[in-house]
Amino acid sequence: MNRKNLLAIILMGTFIFSCKQAAEKNQTVDLNSQQELIFPKGEKVTNNNFIGDVWVHMQVMADSVNQNSVGTVTFDPGARSNWHSHPNGQIIMSLDGEGYYQEKGSEKRILRKGDVVKCPANTPHWHGASAEKPFIQIAITSRVDGPTEWLHPVTEEQYLNGN
């Protein structure tokens, strides 16, 4: 093989590699990079209402006239909320990744990008990331009839098997 051919083959290899990188970089939202996210990842949760690594970015606080709080929540794989309920229910909008959602007495559901859940009032439920992938959601919570009631943690058995 002469030098020109060798050079051409090396250059081609470089372009194929760059192409693969460019495509992979842009294919999906990079859940580890805030630059790629629609909304900021926010602050890491430090209270005991969650298990695992969870970040919350509060976008809107409830007030006396518009009693909704809106925030974006990012769960690392395996992370989830404790069981809890809301006097006016809750709306969950899935932005990216793969999540779990379960209401008391119902089977665990898998949530993916674009899935929207309207959780009924005073219904114990939990939500979080799947065991394998992170999960990003918007949580819209009405406070008209009071704040969130936090309950007990979600066991490994409940988390993995929804029992």
Q: How far is the CB of 104 from its own copies (least distance, A)?
A: 17
Among 11, 110, 131, 156, binds its own copies (CB under 8 A): 11
How many other C-beta atoms can be found within 10 angstroms of the C-beta atom of residue 119? 21
How many other C-beta atoms can be found within 10 angstroms of the C-beta atom of residue 26? 10
Within 43-62, the residues that bind its own copies by CB under 8 A are 59-60
SS3 14: helix
The full length of the chain comes to 163
CA–CA distance, 102 with 39 (Å, rounded to integer): 25
SS3 122: coil
Among 15, 46, 47, 48, binds its own copies (CB under 8 A): 15
* Nearer residue to its own copies within complex by CB, 17 or 163: 17
Among 75, 127, 142, 159, binds its own copies (CB under 8 A): 142
User: 84 and 47 in contact (C-beta within 8 Å)?
Assistant: no
Q: How far is the CB of 67 from its own copies (least distance, A)?
A: 7
User: Which among 122, 113, 116, 110 is positioned nearest to 146, based on CA atoms?
Assistant: 122
Q: How far is the CB of 132 from its own copies (least distance, A)?
A: 20
Segment contacting its own copies by CB under 8 A, of 99-107, 127-135, 142-150, 154-162: 142-150
131 lines the binding site for its own copies (CB under 8 A) = no
91 lines the binding site for its own copies (CB under 8 A) = yes
* Nearer residue to its own copies within complex by CB, 61 or 156: 61
CA–CA distance, 100 with 162 (Å, rounded to integer): 9
105 lines the binding site for its own copies (CB under 8 A) = no
Tell me which residue has tokens 């008391």. Answer: 104
38 lines the binding site for its own copies (CB under 8 A) = yes
